[in-house]
Structure 1
Amino acid sequence: MFLSRRTLISSALLMLLPFVQYANAADSLPNSNLASVATSPLHSVADNLTFANYQQVSIHHIELALNVDFELQQLSGNVILELDWHKAGKTLVLDTRDLTINSVSMLNAKGQWQAVPFRLGVVDKVKGAALTIQFPQERVAKVKINYHTSANPSGIQWLTPEQTQGKQWPFMFSQSQAIHARSWIPLQDTPAVRQTYSATVTTKQGMSVVMSADRTSLSDTQTQFTMPQAIPAYLIAIAAGHLQFAALDKTSGIWAEPEMLAKASKEFTDTPAMIAIAAKRYGDYRWGRYDLLILPPSFPFGGMENPRLSFITPTVIAGDKSLVSLIAHELAHSWSGNLVTNATWRDLWLNEGFTTYVENRIMEDLYGRDRALMEQTISYSELLAELAELPAGDSVLHIDLGERDPDDAFSGVPYVKGQLFLRFLEQKFGRERFDNFVKSYFDHFAFQSITTEQFRNYLTQHLLQRYPNIVSESEVDTWIEGQGLPPFLTPPNSPAFDDIDAQRQAWLDGKAKASALNTQGWTVHQWLRFINEMPRLNLTPAQLLELDNAFHFTGTSNNEIAFAWYSLALDNRYFSVLPALKQHLTEIGRRRLIVPLYQKLASSEHYDWAKTVYLAARSGYHPQTQASLDTMFSDTPIEHQH
Structure 2
Amino acid sequence: MAPIDPHSYTDSSHPLTKHVDLDLFLDFDTRVIYGTALLRLERQHSGELYLDTRDLSIEKVTNASGEPLQFCLEPPQEIKGTLLRIVLQNDSSVAVTFKTSPSASALQWLEPSQTAGKRLSYVYTQCQAIHARSIFPCQDTPASRITYSANINVPRDMRVVMSAAYIGRSEICAEESKCRFSSACNPNLRAIEKFTMKQPIPPYLFALAVGDIVHQDVGIRTRVYAEPPMIKAAAYEFANAEAILKQAEMLFGPYDWERFDLLILPPSFPYGGMENPRMVFLTPTLIVGDRSGVEVVAHELAHSWTGNLISNATANDFWLNEGFTTYAERRIIESLDGEEQVALHLALGWNGLQEDIERFKTRPEFTKLKTNQENVDPDEVYSQVPYEKGCFFLKRLEYAVGRPQFDIFLKKYIETFRFQSIDTETFLDFLNVQLPTINEKVNIDAWINGTGLPPDADLVKPKSDILESISNLTERFKAEKRIAESKANFGEGTDWFLYLEILEHEARNWQAKEWKIFLDSLPKKVEHKTLEDLENRFKLSTSCNWEIKVAFLTIAAYSGYEKCFPAIETCLLTVGRMLYLKPLYAGLLESTPEARNLALRIFTEAKSMYHPIAQGVIQTLLNKADPQNLV
TM-score when normalising by structure 1 = 0.88
Which of 606, 616, 631 is equivalent to 1:627? 616
| Mapping 1:532-611, distance limit 5 Å | 532-537=520-525, 539-604=526-591, 605=593, 606-611=595-600
Q: CA deviation at 1:304?
A: 0.6
Q: Which residue of 1 aligns with 2:258?
A: 288
Secondary structure of 2:550's aligned partner: helix
Instruction: Give the conservation status (yes or no) of the 8 Å contact 2:4–2:10.
Output: no
Q: Which amino acid aligns with 1:129?
A: T
Secondary structure of 2:509's aligned partner: coil
Distance in 2, matches of 1:312 and 1:551, equals: 28
Q: Which residue of 2 aligns with 1:235?
A: 205
Which of 79, 82, 94 is equivalent to 2:37? 79
Q: CA deviation at 1:474?
A: 6.7
Q: Which residue of 2 aligns with 1:142?
A: 93
Gaps of at least 5 residues in structure 1 are 1-42, 637-642
Q: CA deviation at 1:598?
A: 1.0
Distance in 2, matches of 1:536 and 1:293, equals: 35
Q: Which residue of 2 aligns with 1:360?
A: 330
Distance in 2, matches of 1:476 and 1:443, equals: 23
Please tell me whether residue 479 in structure 1 is matched to residue 465 in structure 2.
no
Q: Cα gap change, 1:590/1:462 in structure 2, threshold over 3 Å: closer, same or farther?
A: same
Q: Which residue of 1 aligns with 2:79?
A: 126
Distance in 2, matches of 1:285 and 1:549, equals: 48
Distance in 2, matches of 1:235 and 1:375, equals: 26
Secondary structure of 1:375's aligned partner: helix
Distance in 2, matches of 1:610 and 1:359, equals: 34
Distance in 2, matches of 1:530 and 1:321, equals: 21
Distance in 1, matches of 2:234 and 2:470, equals: 31
Distance in 2, matches of 1:635 and 1:378, equals: 27
Please tell me whether residue 171 in structure 1 is matched to residue 128 in structure 2.
no
Secondary structure of 1:56's aligned partner: coil
Identity across the alignment (%): 38
Q: Which residue of 1 aligns with 2:355?
A: 385
Q: CA deviation at 1:45?
A: 8.0
Q: Cα gap change, 1:506/1:603 in structure 2, threshold over 3 Å: closer, same or farther?
A: closer
Q: CA deviation at 1:595?
A: 1.9
Instruction: Give the conservation status (yes or no) of the 8 Å contact 1:53–1:94.
Output: no
Q: Which residue of 2 aligns with 1:92?
A: 49
Q: Which amino acid aligns with 2:137?
A: P
Instruction: Give the conservation status (yes or no) of the 8 Å contact 2:400–2:441.
Output: no
Distance in 2, matches of 1:395 and 1:571, equals: 25
| Mapping 1:56-71, distance limit 5 Å | 56-71=14-29
Q: Which residue of 2 aligns with 1:531?
A: 519
Instruction: Give the conservation status (yes or no) of the 8 Å contact 1:54–1:193.
Output: no
Instruction: Give the conservation status (yes or no) of the 8 Å contact 1:244–1:258.
Output: yes
Q: Which amino acid aligns with 1:71?
A: D
Q: CA deviation at 1:634?
A: 5.0
Which of 162, 166, 178 is equivalent to 2:113? 162
Q: CA deviation at 1:596?
A: 2.2
Secondary structure of 1:115's aligned partner: coil
Instruction: Give the conservation status (yes or no) of the 8 Å contact 2:2–2:12.
Output: no
Instruction: Give the conservation status (yes or no) of the 8 Å contact 2:541–2:550.
Output: no
Secondary structure of 2:116's aligned partner: coil
Instruction: Give the conservation status (yes or no) of the 8 Å contact 2:2–2:11.
Output: no
Please tell me whether residue 101 in structure 1 is matched to residue 87 in structure 2.
no
Q: CA deviation at 1:619?
A: 0.9
1:206-245 residue CA offsets vs partner (Å, 9 max, x unmatched): 1001110001222231111010011111011111010001
Instruction: Give the conservation status (yes or no) of the 8 Å contact 1:211–1:238.
Output: yes
Distance in 2, matches of 1:340 and 1:607, equals: 43
Q: Cα gap change, 1:495/1:513 in structure 2, threshold over 3 Å: closer, same or farther?
A: closer
Secondary structure of 2:583's aligned partner: helix
Gaps of at least 5 residues in structure 2 are 172-190, 481-494, 626-631
Distance in 1, matches of 2:219 and 2:7, equals: 40
Instruction: Give the conservation status (yes or no) of the 8 Å contact 2:379–2:613.
Output: no
Which of 171, 194, 211 is equivalent to 1:224? 194
| Mapping 1:173-212, distance limit 5 Å | 173-212=124-163
Distance in 2, matches of 1:282 and 1:245, equals: 28
TM-score when normalising by structure 2 = 0.90
1:408-467 residue CA offsets vs partner (Å, 9 max, x unmatched): 44211100000000000111111110011001100000000001010000000001x1xx
Instruction: Give the conservation status (yes or no) of the 8 Å contact 2:147–2:201.
Output: yes
Distance in 2, matches of 1:540 and 1:548, equals: 13
Distance in 2, matches of 1:493 and 1:575, equals: 36
Q: Cα gap change, 1:349/1:62 in structure 2, threshold over 3 Å: closer, same or farther?
A: same
Q: Which amino acid aligns with 2:41?
A: L
Q: Which residue of 2 aligns with 1:514?
A: 500
Secondary structure of 2:443's aligned partner: helix
Distance in 2, matches of 1:588 and 1:549, equals: 25
Q: Which has the higher contact order (CA 8 A, sep 6+)?
A: 1
Q: Cα gap change, 1:208/1:90 in structure 2, threshold over 3 Å: closer, same or farther?
A: same
Instruction: Give the conservation status (yes or no) of the 8 Å contact 1:348–1:409.
Output: no
| Mapping 1:449-468, distance limit 5 Å | 449-463=421-435, 465=436, 468=437
Instruction: Give the conservation status (yes or no) of the 8 Å contact 1:428–1:471.
Output: no
Q: CA deviation at 1:536?
A: 3.1
Secondary structure of 2:607's aligned partner: helix
Q: Cα gap change, 1:370/1:634 in structure 2, threshold over 3 Å: closer, same or farther?
A: closer
Distance in 2, matches of 1:408 and 1:334, equals: 26
Segment of structure 1 superposing worse, 555-564 or 259-268 = 555-564
Q: CA deviation at 1:506?
A: 4.2
Q: CA deviation at 1:265?
A: 0.7
Distance in 2, matches of 1:113 and 1:69, equals: 25
Q: Which residue of 2 aligns with 1:50?
A: 8
Instruction: Give the conservation status (yes or no) of the 8 Å contact 2:253–2:411.
Output: yes
Distance in 2, matches of 1:452 and 1:157, equals: 33
What root-mean-square deviation, in Å, do the aligned CA atoms of Structure 1 and Structure 2 show? 1.7
Distance in 2, matches of 1:204 and 1:536, equals: 49
Q: Which residue of 2 aligns with 1:441?
A: 413
Secondary structure of 2:79's aligned partner: coil
Corresponding pairs, count? 582
Q: CA deviation at 1:54?
A: 5.0
Q: Which residue of 2 aligns with 1:317?
A: 287
Q: CA deviation at 1:507?
A: 4.5
1:257-295 residue CA offsets vs partner (Å, 9 max, x unmatched): 011111111011111111111111111000010101110
Q: Which residue of 1 aligns with 2:278?
A: 308
Q: Higher helix proportion, which one?
A: 2
Q: Which residue of 2 aligns with 1:640?
A: none
Distance in 2, matches of 1:44 and 1:101, equals: 25
Q: Which residue of 1 aligns with 2:174?
A: none
Secondary structure of 2:456's aligned partner: coil
Q: Which residue of 2 aligns with 1:246?
A: 216
Instruction: Give the conservation status (yes or no) of the 8 Å contact 2:396–2:442.
Output: no
Distance in 1, matches of 2:566 and 2:281, equals: 30
Distance in 1, matches of 2:624 and 2:138, equals: 36
Instruction: Give the conservation status (yes or no) of the 8 Å contact 2:303–2:321.
Output: yes
Distance in 1, matches of 2:60 and 2:248, equals: 46
Q: Cα gap change, 1:484/1:428 in structure 2, threshold over 3 Å: closer, same or farther?
A: same
Instruction: Give the conservation status (yes or no) of the 8 Å contact 2:23–2:152.
Output: yes
Q: CA deviation at 1:44?
A: 9.5
Q: Which residue of 1 aligns with 2:487?
A: none
Q: Which residue of 2 aligns with 1:12?
A: none
Secondary structure of 2:454's aligned partner: coil
Which of 401, 414, 433 is equivalent to 2:386? 414
Please tell me whether residue 335 in structure 1 is matched to residue 324 in structure 2.
no
